[in-house]
């Protein structure tokens, strides 16, 4: 299929900068000073493999004098970061230490641990970036680019926008898109024509447009392609660029499947075996009609299709959850009792709400799983994707003086009344030539 070839070509356009691969290349070429510097930068991200390798270098005296207390400190930290071999080596090296060395080990470990921004996954997930959710009163669909139609390209654009007190969109920025730059322009043109509810003050809002090809995405075909293209195996083997690309491909598939997904944890992925995506194949369509439905909700259905309970209405703008109880779901095919998600996809029949059964998948088919791996391996695009969604990554990129993050942090501070700090970050972003920063500063001052 032509669109499948286009997907392959788009996914092959990777950045030449890959911190993890550069570090490994330097190590394999015996450029130990360069390797140590690169691994140390990844230590800040809590990269367990980089920390482990630093321990090996300290133990073997590669590019330095052999330092057993330092090696033990690296292995202790790698153990905390859950490297599978680290605990065994930490024990072995610790048994060789004198009492004086053990004091040095404690000092080294305390210093190294303080340098790690992300100690574990749980800390990374403590807080999410949650832009305000305003009700859209007027929506305009983006025009499908002719070149994308010709090449049967599909994808999505996630936007961050600044909405004024009257509900008008003044600034929009594509924070994540696939394929890169294909749909960004038409998405921004469309969102600037949207009108949100008036609140009397500025808000940062998010929106996403999905661009689906005719007939939709066939997960089983993509499953075979992931194996034949080697994108899966290269990602599993540790290439940050391929990990970011795989995360993006899976995010597209999961988003355009229009299914609510529940990811369960499994063992580390196998480079030779792509997990099955059969659960994402199209199923019978169910729906019901309700006036002015906006957002999404997770509900429980009885065998006769009646909504018996609303399990999650945190993303439901309207109507009230109580108005959903007792609604009768209809459609072709047999309805199984269980948990379902309700949503109204953009451009659907007026007042028609789609009803989709929640699908269980291994976490290795979650785009975020691979974005996190890529980010920990130093991939900036993956880091920015996560920074738009999680405060911890936003704070990390702020420390790295990333201009995109600095600009939007400045906006948040200005909206919260912290004028001096807001201006400070916007001006830093302007100095680093982020094009949106000057516009955002002008709008808010």
What CATH number did the domain enclosing 25 receive? 1.25.40.10
Among the three residues 92, 124, 156, which one is the final residue of a domain in this structure? 124
Position 224 in a domain: no
Give the Å distances, CA to CA, from 175 to 161, 168, 179, 386, 419.
10, 19, 13, 10, 24
What total of structural domains would you count in the chain? 3
Among the three residues 63, 96, 124, which one is the final residue of a domain in this structure? 124
Task: List helix spans (H) across 287-366.
Answer: none
329 and 287 Cβ atoms separated by less than 8 Å: yes
Nearest residue to 117 (alpha-carbon basis) of 71, 20, 50: 50
pLDDT at 16: 32
pLDDT at 126: 46
Both 324 and 405 in one domain: the answer is no
Position 25 in a domain: yes
pLDDT at 2: 30
Position 205 in a domain: no
pLDDT at 217: 67
Both 405 and 354 in one domain: the answer is no
Structure tokens at 347: 């451009």
Position 170 in a domain: no
Both 409 and 342 in one domain: the answer is no
Residue 279, φ and ψ in degrees, nearest 5:
-65, -15
pLDDT at 115: 92
Distance from chain centroid for Cα 42: 19
Position 181 in a domain: no
pLDDT at 215: 60
- 201 Rama class: left (phi>0) / alpha (psi -120 to 50) / beta: beta
Residues of the chain with pLDDT under 50: 1-18, 121-126
14 and 21 Cβ atoms separated by less than 8 Å: no
Both 41 and 109 in one domain: the answer is yes
Domain hosting residue 410, numbered range: 401-444
Tell me whether the omega of the peptide bond preceding residue 319 falls within 30 degrees of 0, making it cis.
yes
pLDDT at 52: 97
Position 389 in a domain: no
277 and 364 Cβ atoms separated by less than 8 Å: no
Among the three residues 80, 106, 124, which one is the final residue of a domain in this structure? 124
Judged by DSSP in three states, 377 sits in coil
Write down the pTM of the prediction: 0.78
């Amino acid at each position: 299929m032509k669109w499948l070839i286009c997907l392959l070509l788009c996914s092959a356009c990777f950045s030449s900068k890959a911190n993890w691969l550069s570090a490994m290349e330097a190590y394999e070429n015996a450029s130990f000073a360069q390797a140590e510097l690169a691994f140390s930068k990844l230590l800040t991200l809590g990269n367990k493999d980089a920390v482990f390798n630093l321990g090996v270098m300290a133990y073997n005296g590669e590019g330095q004098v052999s330092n057993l207390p330092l090696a033990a400190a690296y292995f202790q930290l790698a153990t905390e970061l859950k490297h599978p071999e680290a605990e065994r080596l930490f024990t072995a090296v610790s048994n060789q230490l004198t009492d004086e060395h053990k004091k040095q080990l404690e000092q080294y470990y305390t210093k190294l641990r303080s340098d790690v921004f992300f100690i574990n996954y749980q800390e990374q997930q403590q807080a999410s970036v949650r832009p305000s959710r305003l009700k859209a009163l007027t929506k305009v669909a983006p025009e499908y680019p002719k070149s994308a139609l010709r090449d049967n390209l599909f994808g999505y654009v996630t936007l961050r926008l600044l909405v004024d007190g009257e509900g008008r969109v003044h600034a929009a920025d594509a924070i994540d898109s696939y394929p890169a730059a294909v749909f960004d322009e038409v998405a921004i043109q469309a969102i600037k024509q949207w009108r949100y509810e008036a609140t009397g003050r500025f808000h940062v809002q998010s929106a996403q447009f999905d661009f689906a090809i005719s007939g939709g995405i066939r997960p089983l075909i993509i499953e075979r392609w992931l194996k034949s293209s080697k994108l899966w195996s290269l990602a599993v083997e540790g290439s940050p660029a391929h990990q970011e690309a795989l995360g993006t491909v899976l995010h597209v598939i999961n988003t355009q499947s229009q299914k609510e997904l529940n990811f369960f944890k499994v063992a580390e992925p196998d480079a030779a075996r792509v997990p099955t995506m059969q659960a994402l194949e199209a199923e019978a369509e169910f729906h019901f009609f309700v006036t002015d439905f906006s957002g999404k909700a997770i509900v429980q259905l009885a065998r006769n299709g009646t909504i018996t309970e609303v399990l999650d209405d945190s993303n439901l703008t309207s109507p009230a959850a109580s108005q959903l109880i007792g609604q009768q779901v209809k459609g072709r095919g047999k309805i199984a009792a269980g948990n379902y998600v309700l949503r109204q996809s953009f451009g659907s029949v007026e007042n028609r709400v789609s009803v989709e059964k929640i699908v269980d998948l291994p976490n290795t088919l979650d785009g975020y799983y691979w974005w996190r791996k890529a980010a920990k391996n130093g991939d900036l695009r993956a880091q920015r994707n996560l920074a738009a969604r999680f405060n911890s990554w936003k704070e990390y990129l702020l420390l790295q003086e990333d201009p995109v993050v600095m600009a939007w942090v400045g906006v948040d501070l200005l909206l919260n009344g912290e004028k001096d700090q807001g201006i400070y970050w916007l001006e830093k972003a302007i100095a680093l030539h982020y094009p949106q920063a000057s516009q955002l500063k002008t709008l808010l001052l």
